Amino acid sequence: MAKQKTAFVCTECGSDYSKWQGQCSDCGAWNTVTEVRLGPAGKRGAAVSAGNRAGFAGARPEAKLLADIATEAVVRIASGAGEFDRVLGGGLVPGSAILVGGSPGAGKSTLLLQTLCHLARGRPCLYITGEESLQQVALRARRLGLPMDQLRLMAETNVESILAALEGDAPDVVVVDSIQVVHSDDIASAPGSVSQVRECAAALTRHAKQSGTVLLLVGHVTKDGSLAGPKVLEHMIDCSILLEGSDDSRFRTLRGQKNRFGAVNELGIFAMTDGGLREVKNPSAIFLDRSEEASSGSAVMVVWEGTRPLLVEIQALVDESALGNPRRVAVGLEQNRLAMLLAVLHRHGGLHVGDQDVFANVVGGVKVLETSADLALLLAIVSSFRDRPLPRDLVIFGEVGLSGEIRPVPSGQERLAEAAKHGFRRAIVPKANAPKSAIPGMEVVPVRRLQEALAACE
Ligand code: TYD
Ligand code: MG
């Protein structure tokens, strides 16, 4: 009788070992190495390399010249939600496998149900629910007022049945909610275990590649923030996106972690409402809600939040101190950085604020830890001190060094482009961040030293 093959795999990171050990040597997690049955011999190897072999028809594999390989322009399927498409790199690519991760309650099922109901109007779609009953899904769709007439629904967790249904239905887009509950009869371990998740995801992905179906897999995030069986899935899927949101905020962010068809530095922002997830079309300015008239002590800067520029207003108030030891209070900013910047302002800008209380605040409760806020903060302080408002259409960013030099910050071009999009017409930026070609409708003042920046807002 053939010996049953087993391996020991870490449930956190997917590393495998030939024998059991208490701690995973790769990720350092304790008690995560579990025994996994590999199923009939040779099956696993076949599953992994099937995709690679598919391209070689003859007996002797032959290498091709890169330039000779015919590529057709992929026609992406627009998901209907601009923010979702943006994270995917412009829409769903036929034949791709996309993993949508997130903690429970983030809104993964809601997002995918909404997307699929809209997509189903133009092409065959199938929603496979393994966690909720058909009634629950239907109730939600009805409550959200989604178009329900075209979407086909199935409650199934067995991967063989799912594959059979896919063969029969041949949908263009399929959602499997979630991969952790899908199991195969061929594998002895429990649903949700590494081997089940890996083999089921591999089978579904293979089907997607062969049939050109878009496969959307829902995956749960474990308590430490990683996708259950993370590395196991990551190499076989094409895109991995994460839906995140804190409990006290209605905003949800969709972030690309891996994308074979686009950049990963895209961030989609949604708001969870009682009518489901709504796109936030202008996320970069959600924290920018300014009064009509210019006021002194206020400046707008562009910070880099995650992977997207965000416009935020910074306010400063400089007032004569009644105390012997004037106060320096920073909300949303680092206290020490404020003290340091005030010293730079005195030494290199010639502005003496030693006898003044200085308060600084980032509007909207945003926390700014980036050094690109330095220059905007300094100019806001000067504006308040002189009681002279900065122009309302001015945007500022740049790091301030201890010798009064203005240092460049990453992604200067993108920051300027974002500000221009929101109607800002002037910008004070570090010399090295000055755009090579002019930005239409925007006057950029590149500065090298603090004095130049002060002179620019005279
Ligand atoms: P759900 O999509 O079920 O999350 P997931 O599949 O990621 O676990 O969304 C669950 C949460 O979303 C739930 O806690 C309530 C909230 N929600 C709303 O606020 N409004 C709505 O219209 C819907 C459908 C959900
Ligand atoms: Mg769900």
CA distances, 83 to each of 80, 88, 282, 401 (Å): 9, 9, 10, 37
- 239 in a structural domain: yes
Q: Is the pLDDT of residue 447 over 90?
A: yes
Q: Are residues 442 and 301 in the same domain?
A: yes
- Report the number of distinct structural domains present in the chain: 3
Mean per-residue pLDDT for 405-419? 92
Lowest mean pLDDT among 307-316, 320-329, 411-420, 443-452: 307-316
Query: Does residue 109 share a domain with residue 168?
Result: yes
CA dihedral 160, 163, 168, 174 (to 10 degrees): 140
| Domain match, 123 and 255 both | yes
Evaluate whether residue 370 is within a structural domain: yes
Which residues lie near ion ligand 2 (Cβ < 5 Å)? Answer: 109
The more confident residue out of 418 and 221 is 418
Same domain, 9 and 29: yes
Within-domain flag for 233:
yes
Please indicate whether residue 145, judged by its CB atom, sits closer than 6 Å to ligand 1. Answer: no
The token duo for 448 is 């090298």
Considering the domain architecture, whether residues 291 and 332 belong to the same structural domain is answered as yes
Q: Is residue 253 part of a domain?
A: yes
For residues 19 and 91, state if they share a domain: no
Q: Which pLDDT value is given to residue 49?
A: 46
Q: Is residue 60 assigned to a domain?
A: no
Asked whether 256 lines ligand 1 (CB < 6 A), one says no
Residues 160 and 298 in one domain: no
Is there a cis peptide before residue 384, judged by omega within 30 degrees of 0?
no
Statement: the pTM of the whole predicted model exceeds 0.75: no
Q: Tens digit of pLDDT for each residue in 54-66?
A: 445 556 888 888 8
Element (H, E) at 142: helix 134-143
Q: Does residue 298 sit in the same domain as residue 252?
A: no
Q: Is residue 67 part of a domain?
A: no
- Provide the b/e sequence for 308-322 (b: ≥16 CB within 10 Å): bbbbbbbbbbbeeee
* Residue-level pLDDT at 51: 46
Measured from the CB, is residue 55 less than 6 Å from ligand 1?
no
Residue 48 lies in a domain: no
Q: How confident is the model at residue 1 (pLDDT cuts 50, 70, 90)?
A: low
Same domain, 195 and 270: yes
Predicted pLDDT of residue 47: 44
Q: Which of 281, 299, 333 is the last residue of a domain?
A: 281
Separation of CA 150 and ligand 1 centre (Å): 22
Whether residues 401 and 326 share a domain: the answer is: yes
Residues 268 and 374 in one domain: no
**pLDDT over 90, % of the chain:** 49
Is residue 243 classed as helix, strand or coil in its secondary structure? Answer: strand
Ligand 1 pocket mutation pick from 113, 221, 272 by most atoms within 8 angstroms of CB:
272
Model pLDDT for residues 4-13, shown as the tens digit of each residue: 678 888 877 7
Q: What is the CATH number of the domain that holds 104?
A: 3.40.50.300
Of all residues in the chain, the percent with pLDDT exceeding 70 is 88
Cβ(107) to ligand 1 under 6 A?
Answer: yes
Residue 261's domain comprises 75-281
Is there a single domain that holds both residue 334 and residue 276?
no
Is position 64 within any domain? no
pLDDT band, residue 46 (cuts 50/70/90): very low
Say what the pLDDT of residue 48 is. 44
CATH number at residue 371: 3.30.230.10
- Which of 260, 281, 302 is a domain's end point? 281
What average pLDDT does range 33-47 have in this prediction? Answer: 61
- pLDDT tens-digit map of 347-388: 999 999 889 999 999 886 667 878 999 999 999 999 999 999
What mean pLDDT, rounded, does the chain reach? 86
User: Looking at ligand 1, which atom is closest to the CA of residue 102?
Assistant: 7
- Ligand 1 neighbourhood includes 333 CB (under 6 angstroms): no
